[in-house]
Amino acid sequence: MIRQDADGRRQKSSPLNLGTSVATLALFFVISLGAASDSAAQSVTSDSPEAPSHVLPPALSGKERWHLYLDENYLSPGIYFASFGSALGGHAANDPRDWGGGFKGYGGRAASQYGLFAIQNTIHDGGAAALGYEPRYFRCQCTGVWRRTGHAFEMTFLTYDQHGHKRLDLPQLAGAYGSGMISTLWYPKGYSPLVQGVQAGHAQLGFVAGIHLIQEFSPEIKRTWPFNKKFTRRSGRD
């Protein structure tokens, strides 16, 4: 997207941040890990009946939903890593230019990303609670890297209701696009909620898909993590 700044100079505005690039890289990284793991596991599970993919743990209570929301937005380091990491792309491109460079510019971009993620989680979790939808991601109870990858992408747009039925995840979509559009309010003049805001919503959905892939293949990632054995010896775990 090309826009003009206050001095009439043409400037590219890219709402896609590093988080989307990380999500794309995570896809290829996770697929390679899953393929290696599944090829070894298929000989063990090929004769075993698969568990239904809709089997879910008990629904969250209101108190548990509140604790999940606090963890996602304040207590877990994940949102801070995501905020500082995704701000690197905009900072390297000096976008928005009005925010400048240096530590101050990077801090502003990181704060903007944190606000984006916090608004998304607030809309998502609040909408899920109102509709009785499941805000958590559950790994596919199936085998095969492609089936599990498809499940991760599918559950970016779908979720489960209180009866375990799949529904269109309206709170997730509202959170992604709503947060993208709201975030343009603190951007410099020239950023439109219906243009850059919607594009940022696309990026947020890509980020969610990347997170789901990591969650889906987290057992394989943990087993192949290069420092896993070293950490296990130090921590004394089995």
Count of all residues that appear for the chain in the document: 238
Burial of 232 (0-12, 13-18, 19+ CB in 10 A): exposed
Strands 10-12 and 158-160 come out as unpaired
Q: Is 155 exposed, middle or buried (0-12, 13-18, 19+ CB in 10 A)?
A: buried
Q: Are 159 and 167 in contact (CB under 8 A)?
A: yes
Inter-residue contact 17 to 86 (CB < 8 Å)? yes
Distance CA 163, CA 188 (A): 45
* % pLDDT > 70, the chain: 72
- Other C-beta atoms closer than 10 Å to the C-beta of 209 total 22
Query: How confident is residue 54, by pLDDT bands cut at 50, 70 and 90?
Result: low
Query: Which residues have a Cβ under 8 Å from the Cβ of 74 and sit 6 or more positions away?
Result: none
Phi, psi of 158 (to 5 degrees): -120, 165
Model pTM score: 0.74
Cα–Cα distance between 100 and 90 in angstroms, integer? Answer: 11
Quote the pLDDT of residue 214.
94
The token duo for 1 is 């997207």
Which pLDDT band, with edges at 50, 70 and 90, does 228 fall under? Answer: low
pLDDT given for residue 9 in this prediction:
44
Q: Please tell me the distance from the alpha carbon of residue 36 to that of residue 41, in angstroms, as a whole number.
A: 9
* pLDDT number for residue 140: 94
Q: What is the pLDDT of residues 1-11, one digit of tens each?
A: 444 444 444 44
Mean pLDDT, the chain, as a whole number? 80
What's the pLDDT score for residue 227? 54
β-bridge mates for residue 168, sequence order:
158
Where exactly are the structural domains of the chain? 16-32+59-224
